[in-house]
Structure 1
């Protein structure tokens, strides 16, 4: 729901000193992550089972997912099922 607001917290005044303080508050409290643009969703699929003992392709898929989760909502899936 919050993502629908997009620009809910725009600066009220164009004054340089005000904008500087506004940006500091946005950065310190990470407000843009709540009111910023909606994160894209990514599906990472491997043909190997996802279990405690991962094979090479599953390890790569897991590491790719860990990297992408910084900027995207990631779902890691397999076509083989768990073992």
Structure 2
């Protein structure tokens, strides 16, 4: 079992951001009504998760947008999160 190096909210925020991206893809024009409805439900759940961990979500997005690394919400994972935000002395 791996030891998490960050507060649980950091991982939850990243999961929420990833879920938001996935939900948005379900709501693209041309998708079925069922997919669009599923996307709306998934988006609401993702937004709730992001809202619960807003400080971490903001930090993650800001780092991705201003960072020199070629990273996106889709490619970001727990390893990237820890490498980017964990205290190197731990």
Q: What is the TM-score normalised by the length of structure 2? A: 0.29
Q: Which has the higher strand share?
A: 1
Structure with a larger share of its residues in helix = 2
Larger radius of gyration: 1
